[in-house]
Structure 1
Amino acid sequence: MYLTPMFDPMDAQDRPAAACGKCRGEVYAGETQYLYEGCWLCSDCFKAEIEKLLRQDPRTLALALDLEMRRCG
Structure 2
Amino acid sequence: MAANALAQSNTQPIKDKLIANSDKAVEIGAFGIPWFECTNSSGETECFWGVDRMAQVAAFLGLETTADQGFRAMM
Q: Which TM-score applies when normalising by structure 1? A: 0.27
User: Hey, which of these two has a bigger chunk of helix by percent?
Assistant: 2
